[in-house]
Amino acid sequence: MAILALKTTRRARSTSLESDPALAKSKVSIFFGRLALLIVILITLFPIYWMFRTAFSNNRAMFGEPLNLLPVDFTFGPLRRVLGLSTTAEALAEGGSGASINFAQYMLNSIMTCTLITVLQVTFSAMAAYAFALLNWRGRDKVFSVFLIALMVPGIFTLLPNFILVKDAGLLNTIVGIALPSMFMTPFAIFFLRQFFLGVNRSIIEAAVIDGANLWRIFRTIVVPLAWPQIITLAILQFIQYWNDYLWPFLIGQTEQSKLLTVGLGIFKSQTPQGNPDWAGLMAGALVSAVPIFILLLVFGRRIVGSIQSSGVK
Amino acid sequence: MAVTARKGSQFRAAVLFLIPASIGFVVFFAWPAVRGLFLSFTDYNLLRPPVFVGFENYIKIWSDPVFWNSLRVTLEYVVINVGVQTAAALVLAVLMQRFTRTMVVRGVIMLPYLIANVIVALVWYWLADYNLGIINAALDFFGIHKIGFFGNQNIAMVTIAMVNVWRHLGYTSLLLFAGLQAIPRDVYEAAEVDGAGEWRVFRSVTLPLLRPVLAFVLVVTVVGSFQVFDTIAVTTKGGPVDATRAINYYIYQRAFERLDFGYASALAVILMIILAGVALLQNKLLRANESDLER
């Protein structure tokens, strides 16, 4: 039964494929077009595969076989090394540098920081977007356009004064210091959510007002549930962005307790011996840092792709 | 009477709802912007209070060869990065539109964009390593001279630009793909009836109708690529010599390596003016908001 259903949906899809006039018809161009797509996919995936291949290789043995497409002398050593699970002797035996690196700790720091930023920023931005989209008050659109101006200011311009601010507040080398500038709002988040809140049917809200519900209750029980898919999408996008951010967390968090994964990776790279780099360890660190993103893409891929597509049309 | 009362209550509610976001806006966007502008007119090293020096920083920047060089290499980066990326993304978007409907392709090409700059930079630094990287090993295997992708000052910036093309290609082509999807299907039917070939369809139908989206993508990518930093910071650190010291990296070095916050702030102001100018100019040139469809 399930197979039958699958077959019919597949057939339905393939007929809609044929009826889409934007699709090429000629067999020859289809062959070359698909071949070109295949090449793009290979170019996209090979560097990522190479990260895996290197992360499971023995760093010492790898030097003899740069063209071997499989992991050289397959081992979990590099992963154990960057997660702080192997002794110095073990690390040195496999061509590691013996430096102490602890990506498990950086992972924890990254998860805490990005969760803190995402949860607060999305909540506060949703509240602001509600005020800008659905409440009636004088000067609303003027205030909104002032908020939007901040979108145009390049990051480096506010970064220097913000660094001074965080330093003067005594929050250098803390997770809160890293989260502070972005945890209240970003113009993008407000803009993104306002778009969806504008589409909420106002008559539902007016009816609720007449029923005596207060505006906070309407926000929590009507607007947020209606826009929940978009709120989750925004949260994922922002989480990924802060997960990948480098310069700001690098300036603020330099201790073991405040280093994020990207920062740990950058420092690991600059400390590995120039003449004899621990490539396997570096790629293992990169892999550890990227795995949560791979998982997010597997779980939410459709949502992420969809949100990026819609940002292009507007 | 009842209506005005409700309006009043909504104003109060709006204020309450906006409190957290307003704190964020004032403290971490507006105030730093004002402070940054002020600092650009001072001599400030973080240890002593800033000393007002008028336009001295700007005058120094005018005759600073490192600044002019950073502007030159940044432009080089922007032209290569955006040029190659936009062209390739356009081709890829058209390929996706004409030859497949599967979500898998779009998911796969998105992957690099979701990986951190730092990771992407490191992976390519390893792939293109002079001694052991697979690219040079392959070149060597085929008897071709090895290339110092990151070590040769004539090539380093090209390499960094191409690394970021790899990262942004999928993202950019998805934006363009979305634009392609918005083109009415009957235009393609008409082209087919007229017996137009692949290239002709692209040139006479797809490209003109895609222009508004293309303009949007160009503004976003040019402004973004002017601010390249992460890739440089983890690979070449501005070298060899000055070959990859882009403007953002120079600002970072002035501020945090030489603790010259006044000078760095002035550089940041200049960067902001350049970016605003670029965005305005592009909007004008590309008539971003008009579509050929409406004319």
The alpha carbon of residue A91 is apart from the nearest alpha carbon of chain B, in Å, by 20
Q: Is residue A151 part of a domain?
A: yes
At residue B291, the pLDDT reads 55
Neighbour tally for A88: CB within 10 Å? 13
Rounded CA-CA distance A122/A184 in Å is 8
Cβ pair B132:A165 closer than 8 A? no
pLDDT digits (tens, 9 = 90+) for A173-186: 999 999 999 999 99
Q: Name the burial class of residue B144, with classes exposed (0-12), middle (13-18) and buried (19+) by CB atoms within 10 angstroms of its CB.
A: exposed
Cβ pair A301:B7 closer than 8 A? no
Q: How confident is the model at residue A11 (pLDDT cuts 50, 70, 90)?
A: very low
To the nearest 10 degrees (0 to 180), the angle between helices B31-39 and B261-286 is 110
Average pLDDT rounded to a whole number, residues A289-302: 89
CATH assignment at residue A233:
1.10.3720.10
B109 touches chain A (CB under 8 A): yes
Q: Give the total number of structural domains in chain A.
A: 1
Q: How confident is the model at residue A21 (pLDDT cuts 50, 70, 90)?
A: low
Q: What are phi and psi of B268, to 5 degrees?
A: -65, -40
Q: Is residue A53 part of a domain?
A: no
Residues 66 through 95 of chain B touching chain A, CB cutoff 8 Å: 91-92, 95
Q: Is residue A147 part of a domain?
A: yes
Within 13 Å and on the Cβ side, how many CA atoms surround B13? 21
In three-state secondary structure terms, B42 is strand
| Residue B174 near residue B110, CB atoms below 8 Å | yes
Task: Using CA coordinates, name the residue in chain B closest to A30.
Answer: B99
Amino acid at B173: S
Average pLDDT rounded to a whole number, residues A250-256: 94
| Residue B126 near residue A279, CB atoms below 8 Å | yes
CATH 1.10.3720.10 fits B65-294, yes or no: yes
Q: What's the Cα-to-Cα distance from A80 to each of A102, A271, B111, rounded to whole Å?
A: 10, 18, 26
Q: Is residue A160 part of a domain?
A: yes
* C-alpha torsion sign, points B157, B160, B162, B164: negative
In three-state secondary structure terms, B100 is coil
Q: What's the Cα-to-Cα distance from A204 to each of A128, A200, B12, B259, rounded to whole Å?
A: 20, 8, 21, 56
List the domain range (segments joined by +) for residue A226: 104-271
Cβ pair B116:A283 closer than 8 A? no
Q: Is residue A64 part of a domain?
A: no
Rounded CA-CA distance A297/A203 in Å is 37
Reading chain B (295 residues) residue by residue, the pLDDT tens digits are: 334 445 556 888 899 999 999 999 999 999 999 999 999 999 999 889 999 999 999 999 999 999 999 999 999 999 999 999 999 999 999 888 888 877 888 889 989 999 999 999 999 999 999 988 999 999 999 999 999 999 999 999 999 999 999 999 999 999 999 888 888 888 888 887 888 777 888 888 888 888 888 888 888 899 899 999 999 999 999 989 899 999 999 999 999 999 999 999 999 999 999 998 988 888 777 765 555 554 4
Q: What's the Cα-to-Cα distance from A188 to each of A167, A306, B275, rounded to whole Å?
A: 26, 17, 18
Instruction: Closest CB to B213: pick one of A63, A140, A312.
Output: A312
Instruction: Closest CB to A305: pick one of B28, B174, B213.
Output: B174
Instruction: Closest CB to B264: pick one of A160, A240, A305.
Output: A160
Average pLDDT rounded to a whole number, residues A296-311: 82
Instruction: Closest CB to B115: pick one of A25, A152, A293.
Output: A293
Q: Is residue A117 part of a domain?
A: yes
Structure tokens at A95: 């061509």
Q: Is residue A184 part of a domain?
A: yes
B202 touches chain A (CB under 8 A): no
